[in-house]
Amino acid sequence: MVRPSSSAYQLLFCLLVLVFTPIPSHSADPDPLQDFCVADLNATLSVNGYPCKPKSQVTSEDFFFDGLSNEANTSNVFGIGIASADVQTFPGLNTLGLSMIRVDLALGGLNPPHSHPRATESGVVIKGKLLVGFVTTDDIFYSKVLTAGQMFVIPRGLVHFQLNIGQEKALFLVAFNSQLPGVAVVPTLFATTPPIPNQVLTKAFQVGDDVVNLIKSKFGA
């Protein structure tokens, strides 16, 4: 009887590792199983996404979108305007694993610290001068000043921001590898419904009730 060599055992082990090790997806959303699945936003049933509109009801208009063509309103406390092209505004994106937004920043405007739990973010500056930064889970801060034509990438789930530090309005476009990336904005900790107890916020930020109440008042809370 011929006994398998040690190299044969090593080969078998490698094959088993390949078979039983999960292969990570290259996108945040599951891969589509058909050419397209235009979202039926009026459907009464939704399971981790939107069901498909019947093909007989799909038209060319489902695959085109002009919602990013106009400057967004920046008349708010942060001086930011956002126009979204995600599955909820552009149903043709359903199951395709991507979306985009247009971000306009007034002079000194800020896209406040926030994160996207379901997507990595890649952006390009179209106009203006931006300070872009993010913080890792090791509390390391990475940042750079960018001008028109330069790009940035924010790894999925990390807190980040964009600040207009130029002498004019700024504009940048962002792409996500999710049809609905979601957003968690850090300052809204002071404007939740129902409100987070003051004792949590005072302990977390090491400030007094007066400071927490002042910040809450800025957001109408």
- pLDDT tens per residue, range 1-52: 555 555 555 554 544 444 444 444 455 687 877 888 999 998 877 667 799 9
Q: Which helix (H) or strand (E) holds 49?
A: none
**Domains (ranges, CATH) in the chain?**
72-84+97-179 (2.60.120.10), 191-220 (no CATH)
Is the pLDDT score of 144 beyond 70?
Answer: yes
Q: For the chain, what is the radius of gyration of the CA atoms?
A: 23
Main-chain dihedrals φ then ψ at residue 193, nearest 5 degrees: -130, 115
Main-chain dihedrals φ then ψ at residue 167, nearest 5 degrees: -105, 20
212 Cβ neighbours under 8 A, 6+ residues apart: 190, 198, 201, 202, 205
Among residues 107, 103, 82, 77, which one has the least CA distance to residue 188? Answer: 77
More confident of the two residues 124 and 11? 124
**Residue 160 is labelled as binding a ligand:** yes
- Of all residues in the chain, what percent carry a pLDDT higher than 70? 86
**C-alpha to C-alpha distances, 29 to 71, 101, 120, 180, nearest whole angstrom:** 29, 17, 11, 9
Mean pLDDT of the chain: 89
**Residue 121 is labelled as binding a ligand:** yes
**C-alpha to C-alpha distances, 165 to 3, 112, 122, 169, 198, nearest whole angstrom:** 71, 14, 20, 9, 33
**Residue 116 is labelled as binding a ligand:** yes
For residue 2, the model assigns a pLDDT of 54
**Residue 111 is labelled as binding a ligand:** yes
**Residue 114 is labelled as binding a ligand:** yes
Q: Are 107 and 164 in contact (CB under 8 A)?
A: yes
